[in-house]
């Protein structure tokens, strides 16, 4: 346990010791100060502050700021009103409060009376900003948060430029694991070279408060990106799959040959990490500070999942697809001028039209009904689905190895793969070790070593493993242009942030869409 965490946990005990003495000097019942909960209720009465101030004290993160405010207020009621005194009580309550209770004999003066006194401009605005920060931190951390769609992986349901409201109450808000963090900033201070916006002096275990329900199939889920446990220190690369970047460069060191790479993957990966560290730098991130992603949940803990000819198969049965799925098509036009008509009729933007190849063939993301319309109305010379079998054997598909049947998996034909449920036991066969090694080590915090046919977890030989949490499978609606679980695997329960509820604002930009403007028809539109 770290010293900062010990100090924070010691504060309630310090309060139980010093508040009886301070209550006595304020003319209150002393023993009330020694009773947890009651002491803070009585303290707010002594400070003449509203009882709803107790609410932020209950939530890690906002409670740190609220505690500092109360400590300053305690000092003020006993005449410690200089700027120096206020900083002393706000920043060092472990020293200030015992000193006030046992060493200083200052009389109780009561809260500062602002009746008929005009506060300075700076004080007025400072207090307003401080309270806005407390309230906004409470709402943003535990109720809902804004989120922006930066990529086309969820088109057609969520578009690039959509601003979403994410409900953290849907599945129960997560208690922040790194509560010492700048307000309103996720993981990096804006305008810096990804300088951390948080301190890891205090870390809390994974906890989730009660919510309205559980994750259900086809929910649009916002989550901390599992492969974001480390990042390349570069503003563009930081949101990408760190492990894929390492593997791709390592493959180049192996001459681009998957067979040569898999003969000694750790050696090539170590060389890649050394190269990225030298050229850019590498940083680790805690779970709650990983990048936010949004995808659709297609598989739940305890299920067997497969993709067969683009159709989702759960526990051996095909399940209906959500509306709006897109796939990539190779479209050859009759006339180049027809592209303008197609764009207008289908509402396509530069994001949907991903490139032009030889012979006037375009690479376009379309729904199946849109592709059928182009063909039925004779608007194109030829149209065919993108062939994703080119991904086979490249190590792109999770578990990123060509061992066993994994070499035959691609975007449209994948699995079967089992999604572990909390408490479920599996046999540690060679195939299962390949599938779940990252789960066991990175998400559940164990070491796993293979010595011939023997598997050692935390140094002990084992033949089975019991999972401590459930795992989900998430995929984008733009199935051929989505970096999702097919590439990086499982999403642990402790990575789930909330449910995408509705779009509160949406705007196209010239650089990405080829045009700009507000999409008024998407304002306050529910995410389905």
d(CA 388, CA 392): 8
What angle (nearest 5°) sits at the alpha carbon of residue 488, between those of residues 267 and 208?
120
pLDDT averaged over consecutive 10-residue blocks of the chain (528 residues)?
84 95 94 94 94 92 92 94 93 95 92 77 83 90 89 80 93 94 91 91 93 95 96 93 96 94 94 96 96 96 97 96 92 87 87 77 91 89 92 94 94 97 96 96 96 92 97 95 95 97 88 82 87
Look at residue 216 in the predicted model and tell me its pLDDT. Answer: 97
Would 304 be classed as within a structural domain? yes
85 shares its domain with 154? no
The pair of structure tokens assigned to 102 is 């046992």
403 shares its domain with 302? yes
Given a contact cutoff of 8 angstroms between Cβ atoms, the answer to whether 308 and 355 are in contact is no
411 shares its domain with 518? yes
* Burial classification of residue 114, based on how many CB atoms lie within 10 Å of its CB (0-12 exposed, 13-18 middle, 19 or more buried): exposed
The pTM of this model reads 0.91
375 shares its domain with 506? yes
> Please, where are the H alpha helices in 109-229?
121-142
Look at residue 97 in the predicted model and tell me its pLDDT. Answer: 95
Would 199 be classed as within a structural domain? no
Among 139, 157, 188, residue at a domain's last position:
139
318 shares its domain with 353? yes
7 shares its domain with 133? yes
Would 261 be classed as within a structural domain? no
Look at residue 335 in the predicted model and tell me its pLDDT. Answer: 85
Phi-psi region of 315 (alpha: psi -120 to 50; beta: other; left: phi over 0): left
d(CA 220, CA 155): 12
Would 31 be classed as within a structural domain? yes
d(CA 34, CA 485): 52
Would 255 be classed as within a structural domain? no
Among 94, 123, 139, residue at a domain's last position:
139
- DSSP symbols for 366-406: EEHHHHHHHHHTT-SSEEEE--GGGGTTTT-STT---SGGG
- The side-by-side arrangement of strands in the sheet containing 311-314 is 317-318, 311-314, 304-308, 414-418
The structural domain count of the chain equals 2
| Phi, psi torsion values for 244, nearest 5 degrees | -70, -40
Given a contact cutoff of 8 angstroms between Cβ atoms, the answer to whether 186 and 286 are in contact is no
Among 94, 118, 139, residue at a domain's last position:
139
Would 95 be classed as within a structural domain? yes
The residue segments making up the domain with residue 95 are 3-139
d(CA 98, CA 73): 15
Helix (H, G, I), strand (E, B) or coil at 311: strand
510 shares its domain with 391? yes
Would 433 be classed as within a structural domain? no
388 shares its domain with 520? yes
Given a contact cutoff of 8 angstroms between Cβ atoms, the answer to whether 14 and 94 are in contact is yes
Look at residue 414 in the predicted model and tell me its pLDDT. Answer: 97
Would 382 be classed as within a structural domain? yes
- DSSP class of residue 198 equals B
83 shares its domain with 60? yes
d(CA 398, CA 490): 9
Given a contact cutoff of 8 angstroms between Cβ atoms, the answer to whether 197 and 262 are in contact is no
- The count of residues in the chain is 528
98 shares its domain with 157? no
Given a contact cutoff of 8 angstroms between Cβ atoms, the answer to whether 292 and 186 are in contact is yes
53 shares its domain with 130? yes
Helix, strand, coil percentages for the chain (3-state, nearest 5): 40, 20, 40
Q: Are strands 311-314 and 304-308 parallel, antiparallel or unpaired?
A: antiparallel
The pair of structure tokens assigned to 193 is 């070279």
161 shares its domain with 63? no
């Amino acid at each position: 346990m770290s010293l900062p965490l010990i100090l924070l946990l010691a504060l309630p005990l310090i309060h139980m010791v010093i508040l009886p003495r301070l209550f006595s000097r304020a003319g209150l019942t002393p023993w009330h100060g020694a009773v947890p909960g009651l002491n803070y209720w009585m303290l707010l009465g002594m400070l003449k502050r509203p009882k709803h101030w107790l609410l932020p004290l209950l939530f890690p993160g906002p409670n740190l700021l609220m505690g500092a405010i109360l400590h300053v207020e305690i000092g003020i009621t006993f005449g410690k009103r200089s700027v120096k005194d206020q900083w002393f009580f706000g920043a060092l309550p472990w020293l200030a409060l015992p000193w006030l209770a046992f060493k200083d004999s200052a009389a109780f003066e009561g809260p500062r009376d602002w009746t008929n006194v005009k506060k300075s401009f700076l004080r007025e605005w400072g207090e307003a900003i401080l309270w806005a920060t407390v309230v906004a931190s409470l709402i943003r951390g535990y109720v809902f948060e804004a989120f922006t769609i930066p990529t086309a992986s969820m088109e057609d349901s969520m578009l690039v430029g959509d601003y979403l409201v994410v409900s953290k109450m849907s599945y129960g808000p997560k208690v922040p694991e790194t509560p010492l963090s700048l307000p309103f900033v996720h993981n990096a201070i804006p305008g810096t070279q990804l300088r951390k916006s948080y301190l890891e002096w205090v870390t809390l275990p994974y906890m989730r408060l009660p919510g309205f329900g559980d994750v259900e199939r086809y929910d649009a889920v916002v989550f901390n990106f599992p492969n974001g446990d480390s990042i390349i220190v570069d503003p563009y690369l930081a949101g990408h799959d760190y492990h894929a970047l390492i593997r791709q460069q390592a493959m180049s060191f192996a001459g681009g040959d998957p067979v040569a790479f898999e003969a000694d993957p750790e050696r090539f990966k170590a060389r890649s990490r050394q190269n990225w560290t030298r050229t850019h730098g590498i940083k680790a991130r805690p779970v709650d500070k990983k990048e936010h992603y949004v995808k659709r949940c297609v598989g739940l803990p305890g299920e067997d999942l497969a993709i067969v000819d683009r159709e989702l198969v759960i526990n051996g049965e095909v399940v209906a697809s959500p509306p709006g799925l897109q796939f990539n098509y190779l479209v050859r036009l009759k006339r180049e001028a027809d592209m303008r008509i197609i764009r207008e009729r289908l509402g396509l933007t530069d994001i949907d039209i991903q490139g032009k190849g030889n012979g006037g063939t375009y690479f376009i993301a379309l729904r199946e009904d849109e592709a059928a319309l182009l063909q039925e109305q004779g608007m194109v010379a030829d149209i065919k689905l993108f062939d994703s079998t080119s991904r086979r054997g490249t190590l792109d598909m999770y578990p990123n190895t060509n061992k066993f049947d994994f070499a035959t998996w691609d975007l449209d034909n994948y699995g079967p793969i089992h999604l572990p449920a909390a408490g479920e036991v599996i046999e540690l066969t060679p195939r299962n070790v390949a599938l779940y090694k990252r789960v066991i080590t990175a998400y559940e915090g164990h070491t796993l070593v293979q010595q011939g046919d023997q598997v050692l977890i935390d140094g002990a030989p084992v033949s089975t493993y019991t999972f401590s949490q459930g795992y989900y499978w998430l995929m984008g609606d733009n199935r051929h242009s989505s970096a999702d679980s097919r590439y990086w695997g499982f999403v642990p329960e402790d990575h789930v942030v909330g449910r995408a509820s509705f779009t509160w604002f949406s705007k196209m930009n010239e650089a990405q869409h080829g045009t700009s403007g507000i999409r008024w028809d998407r304002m306050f539109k529910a995410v389905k």
